[in-house]
């Protein structure tokens, strides 16, 4: 399990390594075709800032070689804002007092139909708060069953599950799982996740192993930017990615680097603020580090950032996202998790991507390919 590997990696030493990288380290990393985690440290370090233009060129080159001009489009659907956790930065935390919404089967169907009217989405991401007692595996299985006539590719972003539970959901059409470790700093993890299932660091970080053991086709990973030093956190993420790729080599992987949005924190102030320039540096570094990994960009990010990154390394995007249950068919009583930044419609985003020379892909998977 990855928790055992993580015990061998010092957070403090990793931070020192990153900030001690030199100009020579960066140039060495940029000259290599196949990079290791030490090279990744160099590319995300302050020493790499003078090389951003070259990094952008390499990122664009590798993306075009592996993915062509395509951008895979997906849409998230929040099934519930009910949650048993107390994450200090999240609007869904259990201590916040508001009406909790759990969509019924009829409401879920209405959402699916409403989404299909927006644009020809085939990639659907089902999202829940973490409340297995009220929205557990049985509930998710039914939501997947209901989605199959409408969508070709079904992914979930829910609480970490057991291996057999992921395997069970695969039988109901599940193709991919997204899970954010939030932070890999074990010593600080409980500061942000004091109560609930999510407070168990090992259960969460080893959830990716359980996905791999269940044979999940695609695993999405990420760290929440705003909690701890972002450079150290994404280096741990790079270690994690390499570990999973070696152990579960048949699985596809995606990375996402969500920056904390103001309305999701309920008064919590981010400890770290990543600039747009640093976000671009991380995107370029991730693509140079791994030419094949899917780099995903959500509507958390502003329009200008998404448009720029669409030509420089990003390979999948959400569009016209709603972060509250019932947001597409319109149930106005529901509370959203955070307010999005890119509020354009899916049609507008697709038109802009074509203008930029990119081809939005609504369907890139079919169950017949299994």
Tokens standing for residue 250? 């048949």
At residue 74, what are phi and psi to the nearest 5 degrees? -140, 165
DSSP letters along 18-46, please?
A: HHT--HHHHHHHHT-SS--HHHHHHHHSG
3-state secondary structure of 50: helix
The torsion angles phi and psi of 73, rounded to 5 degrees, stand at: -100, 135
pLDDT number for residue 81: 86
First-to-last alpha carbon distance for the chain, in angstroms, is 27
Q: Residue 365: its pLDDT value, please?
A: 55
Mapped onto helix, strand or coil, the DSSP state of residue 86 is: coil
Please report the pLDDT score of residue 340 as a whole number: 67
Length of the chain: 370
Residue-level pLDDT, tens digit, the chain, 370 residues: 999 999 999 999 999 999 999 999 999 999 999 999 999 999 999 999 999 999 999 999 999 999 999 999 999 999 998 888 888 887 676 566 667 789 999 999 999 999 999 989 999 999 998 888 889 999 999 999 999 999 999 999 999 999 999 999 999 999 999 999 999 999 999 999 999 889 999 999 999 999 999 999 999 999 999 999 999 999 999 999 999 999 999 999 999 999 986 544 457 788 899 999 999 999 999 999 999 999 999 988 999 999 999 999 999 999 999 888 888 886 555 555 556 688 899 999 999 999 999 999 997 655 444 4
Helical pair 230-247 and 37-44, crossing angle rounded to 10 deg: 150
Q: What is the pLDDT of residue 18?
A: 98
Confirm whether pTM is higher than 0.95: no
Region at 47 (left for phi over 0; alpha for psi -120 to 50; beta for the rest): alpha
Q: b/e for 137-154, b at 16 or more Cβ within 10 A? A: bebbbebbebbeebbbbb
Q: What pLDDT shows up at residue 263?
A: 42
* b/e burial code for range 275-298 (CB count within 10 A of at least 16 → b): eeebbbbbbbbbbbbbbebbbbbb
The tokens describing 165, both together, are 């539970």
Residue burial 227-253, b: 16+ Cβ < 10 Å; e: rest: bbbbbbbbbbbbbbbbbbbeebeebbb
- Scanning the chain, the segments in alpha helix (DSSP H) are 2-6, 11-19, 23-30, 37-44, 52-67, 105-118, 137-147, 163-170, 186-192, 201-205, 207-213, 230-247, 276-289, 303-309, 346-355
- What tokens were used for 369? 């390919």
Pairing of strands 70-80, 123-128: parallel
Q: Residue 30 has which token pair?
A: 């940029």
Distance of CA 151 to the CA centre of its chain: 20
Given the structure tokens 């086709």, which residue do they identify? Answer: 217
What is the model's pLDDT at position 83?
87
* CATH top-level class of 52-362: alpha beta
Triad 285, 318, 366: Cα angle to 5°: 100
| Domains of the chain by residue range | 52-362
Question: How far is the C-alpha of 140 from the C-alpha of 18, rounded, in Å?
Answer: 41
Q: Which residue has the tokens 């930044």?
A: 341
- Rounded Cα distance, 276 and 349, in Å: 20
70: number of Cβ within 10 Å: 16
Nearest to 46 by CA among 284, 286, 278: 278
Distance CA 198, CA 193 (A): 6
């Amino acid at each position: 399990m990855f928790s055992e590997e993580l015990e061998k990696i010092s957070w403090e030493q990793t931070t020192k390594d990153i900030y001690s990288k030199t100009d020579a380290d960066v140039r060495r990393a940029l000259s290599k075709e196949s990079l290791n985690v030490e090279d990744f440290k160099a590319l995300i370090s302050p020493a790499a800032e003078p090389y951003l233009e070259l990094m952008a060129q390499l990122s664009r080159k590798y993306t075009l070689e592996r993915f062509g001009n395509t951008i895979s489009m997906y849409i998230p659907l929040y099934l519930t804002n009910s949650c048993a956790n107390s994450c200090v930065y999240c609007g869904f935390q259990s201590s916040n007092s508001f009406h909790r919404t759990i969509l019924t089967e009829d409401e879920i169907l209405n959402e699916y139909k409403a989404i299909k009217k927006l644009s020809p989405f085939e990639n659907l991401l089902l999202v829940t708060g973490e409340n297995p007692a009220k929205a557990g595996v049985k509930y998710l299985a039914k939501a997947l069953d209901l989605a199959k006539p409408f969508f070709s590719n079904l992914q979930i972003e829910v609480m970490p599950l057991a291996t057999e539970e992921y395997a069970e959901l695969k039988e109901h059409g599940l193709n991919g799982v997204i899970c954010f470790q939030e932070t890999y700093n074990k010593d600080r993890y409980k500061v942000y996740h004091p109560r609930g299932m999510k407070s168990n660091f090992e259960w969460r970080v080893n959830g990716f192993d359980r996905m791999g053991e269940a044979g999940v086709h695609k695993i999405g990973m990420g760290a929440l930017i705003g909690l701890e030093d972002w450079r150290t956190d994404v280096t741990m993420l790079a270690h994690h990615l390499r570990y999973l790729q070696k152990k579960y080599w048949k699985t596809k992987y995606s990375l996402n680097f969500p920056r904390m949005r103001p309305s999701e924190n309920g008064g919590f102030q981010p400890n770290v603020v990543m600039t747009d320039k640093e976000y671009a540096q991380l995107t370029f570094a991730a693509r140079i580090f791994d030419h094949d990994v899917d780099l995903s960009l959500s509507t958390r990010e502003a329009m200008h950032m998404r448009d720029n990154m669409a030509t420089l390394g990003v390979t999948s995007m959400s569009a016209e996202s709603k972060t509250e249950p019932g947001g597409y068919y319109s149930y106005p009583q529901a509370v959203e998790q955070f307010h999005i930044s890119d509020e354009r419609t899916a049609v507008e985003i697709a038109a802009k991507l074509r203008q930029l020379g990119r081809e939005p892909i609504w369907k890139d998977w079919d169950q017949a390919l299994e």
